[in-house]
């Protein structure tokens, strides 16, 4: 995506051969680019959310394997890298998908061929993600265009949760791709950006993206969405996903389920932007089977931002020693999902719906 005239992806291999990322912990206040040069650095970057978002986590892990193959291409190193990177975050299926992809590709190869093949595959995974998200945008654009037509060309108000933007992927984003495509098609689109506690990916990242892309938006507290829907101010919701089951149950950032309940209660279409690597074909019951990451309590008891001295830091918002729970995701049952916007088109949130678009998986 273009930032001040420069085109960025959220991860790339630089001309000097190093892998660069945008360290998202410092956005929106500072755009910090860092190199990841060891398996440990890649693991830290995923675990501590320097990069986040299911597709980007997968792409980062793929490059993490490639960097490790330079250091040590042995079978043991390949196995240990799978383990070290896989244990960083348990919920986004793209992490396991990418690690399995790399392992399947590399293990049959001679050691001396592994690093080159790994970097080539990691680059392909990035390019595939960009194309997948572009197609999601095209399919999602038609949904927004139809709503605009029903409103006589009036403004289409979209609510989104967390950041499923280009910062959560390699480019375009998933939930934001239809929004960007609609804006570029000249449709009057407005976005309600859920701040998304506790890590505020909406306030810090989606608002930053909307600003830079010139998309009209309002930042809202997470608890305002139901009220806006009740008052007819939301035409549709589009969110991302970290893992969607073959039956269409959608695991996404904590709070998504509540938005889906409010959407159903108010007759607001609730769409999920779903790149196919995010489908876990092995899971049937999302609510009971998808592992939900529990993150540190201090993400709840503190909030990060720019301090009075201009530095970026954390402010405690609750009494010392306040205990907290911090489940990072929840699961929205398929029955609450209007449609799954995939790179192959819009599917019903059901086994039949996904099988119709992905017959090879059925
Ligand atoms: C396009 S996937 C984005 C997805 O990932 C986010 O989680 P996190 O920021 O913790 O990695 C959130 O669930 C987004 O919807």
Tens digit of each residue's pLDDT (9 = 90 or more) over 320-337: 999 999 999 999 999 999
**Residue range 4-20, pLDDT digits in tens:** 888 889 999 999 999 99
User: 145: annotated binding-site residue?
Assistant: no
Quote the CA–CA distance of 269 and 271 in Å, as a whole number: 6
Q: Assess: ipTM above 0.90.
A: yes
Mean pLDDT of the chain: 97
User: 201: annotated binding-site residue?
Assistant: yes
Percent of the chain surpassing pLDDT 70: 100
The strand order across the sheet containing 236-239 reads 216-220, 189-194, 156-160, 236-239, 270-273, 339-342, 345-347
> Of these residues, 242, 249, 280, 330, which one is catalytic?
242
**Residue range 42-88, pLDDT digits in tens:** 999 999 999 999 999 999 999 999 999 999 999 999 999 999 999 99
Question: What is the best residue among 176, 242, 255 to mutate for testing ligand 1's pocket, by most ligand atoms within 8 Å of CB?
Answer: 242
What pLDDT is recorded for position 103? 98
What pLDDT is recorded for position 7? 84
Q: Which residue's alpha carbon is at the smallest distance from atom 12 of ligand 1?
A: 253
What pLDDT is recorded for position 5? 80
For ligand 1, whether the C-beta of 55 sits within 6 Å is yes
Confidence of residue 36 (pLDDT cuts 50, 70, 90): very high
The shares of helix, strand and coil residues in the chain, as percent rounded to the nearest 5, are 45, 20, 35
Quote the CA–CA distance of 109 and 116 in Å, as a whole number: 11
Domains of the chain, with CATH numbers?
2-128 (1.20.120.420), 135-357 (3.40.50.10470)
**Which residues make Cβ contacts (< 8 Å) with residue 122, sequence separation at least 6?**
13, 59, 62, 63, 65, 66, 102
CA atoms within 13 A on the CB side of 89: 32
Mean pLDDT of 233-249: 98
């Amino acid at each position: 995506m273009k930032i001040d005239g420069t085109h960025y992806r959220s991860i790339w291999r630089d001309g000097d051969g190093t892998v660069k990322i945008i360290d998202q912990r410092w956005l929106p206040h500072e755009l910090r680019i860092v190199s990841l040069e060891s398996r440990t650095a890649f693991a830290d970057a995923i675990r501590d959310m320097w990069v986040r978002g299911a597709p980007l986590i997968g792409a980062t892990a793929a490059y993490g394997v490639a960097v490790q193959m330079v250091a040590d291409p042995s079978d043991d190193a390949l196995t240990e890298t799978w383990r070290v990177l896989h244990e960083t975050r348990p919920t986004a299926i793209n992490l396991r998908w990418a690690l399995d992809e790399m392992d399947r590709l590399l293990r049959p190869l001679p050691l001396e061929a592994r690093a080159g093949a790994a970097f080539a595959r990691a680059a392909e995974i990035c390019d595939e993600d960009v194309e997948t998200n572009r197609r999601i945008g095209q399919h999602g654009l038609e949904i927004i265009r139809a709503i605009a037509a029903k409103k006589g060309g009036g403004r289409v108000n979209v609510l989104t949760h967390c950041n499923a933007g280009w910062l959560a992927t390699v480019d375009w984003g998933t939930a934001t791709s239809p929004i960007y495509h609609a804006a570029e098609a000249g449709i009057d689109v407005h976005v309600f950006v859920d701040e998304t506690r506790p890590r505020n990916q909406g306030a810090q990242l989606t608002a930053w993206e909307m600003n830079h892309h010139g998309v009209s938006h309002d930042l809202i507290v997470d608890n305002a969405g139901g009220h806006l829907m009740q008052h007819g101010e939301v035409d549709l919701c589009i969110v991302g996903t970290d893992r969607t089951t073959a039956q269409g149950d959608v695991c996404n950032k904590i709070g998504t389920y509540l938005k889906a309940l409010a959407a159903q209660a108010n007759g607001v279409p609730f769409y999920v932007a779903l790149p196919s690597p995010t489908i876990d074909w092995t899971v049937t019951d999302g609510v009971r089977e998808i592992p939900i990451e529990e993150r540190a309590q201090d993400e709840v008891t503190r909030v990060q931002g720019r301090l009075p001295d201009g530095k970026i830091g954390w402010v405690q918002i609750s009494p010392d020693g306040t205990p907290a729970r911090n489940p990072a995701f929840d699961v929205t049952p398929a029955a609450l999902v209007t449609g799954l916007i995939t790179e192959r088109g819009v599917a019903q949130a059901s086994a039949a719906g996904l099988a119709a678009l992905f017959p090879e998986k059925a």
